[in-house]
Structure 1
């Protein structure tokens, strides 16, 4: 489980070792989430372990390690979905530190374009988007929850299946100014029991792309060796085994899953 200190990072920019200067706090986050600048280095997100809210179904003090493990898995797959994430010391003790993503604000930067995950009036799903469900907004208007039908976002959805992500909200999928799509907030992942809750259900029942399956096959082959050793400080052995089982099941039946519970979407959805 979470333990030790991981200070790797891009050489020379202080990501792993430079002092953190707190810029502000993200108040919408469930756990203490601080925006920091590394002195003479990059901007980062810092989540101290001591600021984690206890959960009934995840061991206390393990969320930071699950964020690091999720990054290591994304990196091992070669997908680059999760920004570089490490466990290191900060002003409030050890915690997860992740590179900041400069993201596009479609509602201002691009003339009111839709975000990757958004709402639209029922019956008005635009081309290039998938409808997930229909509901009512705060004013009682009928709306559709939609997400972009984008292969970059679909790759994130496949990663969530492997991670058993219990909290893929719309705000956790970011369109970077560099043209990439990034996923953040992976503390509630990698449980041994089925926990998948996501807003990315638009591909349910559809085949997984062959290119992604080839990456997963290589991942399964590599998992029992050095990769498992890198995950071991952050996950229990049973959780690493369950990760391998989920990957193997996806290879055996390469179709995106359909909801299996009465609560398939996290709340709030954004």
Structure 2
């Protein structure tokens, strides 16, 4: 299959590209570095012509609602318009478990993601939406965002995070199947309180910051209920546990430094 991956040089996109190439597929990496810009439309017609699947794993560098809405609206409309013009038969997009709940809680970035999903659904083009839980690789940014006066004040919520590589495999599996005309959820195999997970991550990094579960704490601006970040019981669970991912990541880092 010929597959175009928009955002193909990012955290998920680079892993997704490898997964698809290893399976023998012809993958076109769509990113500004390769001359493909979903926001401006540059290179999109060439990138999508002849594609069997368009996978959008791009992301906004802005987390405020206005800028994120502008990015996702413009990029998604471009992808849908160019995709329709050249006849792409399957549009796949990666999003977040609980997008609707997060959007209602506070809006912001998650309102922009909800808008992106609504545009895809209302386009009447064949599509699949992949909802994933938080990535292990983002735990550090979560704790840093929640740090105030040297104390990490995280929202008092439960999380079920997963490894970025597992996310890539999940997206690939959906992309290689028939359009779902709906959404499917993926999550990690373990449930943690965000306080517990932040503590584990800091201790692994020998960071002695105190972590507090704050009932009034926010998650990137959103005030959440305890289970708002968890998937439904029907979610497909990945196999990689946090502890195993942490060890593998540390080993890979050590090898990289040695080289």
TM-score tier by shorter-chain length is under 0.3
1 or 2, which has the higher helix percentage? 2
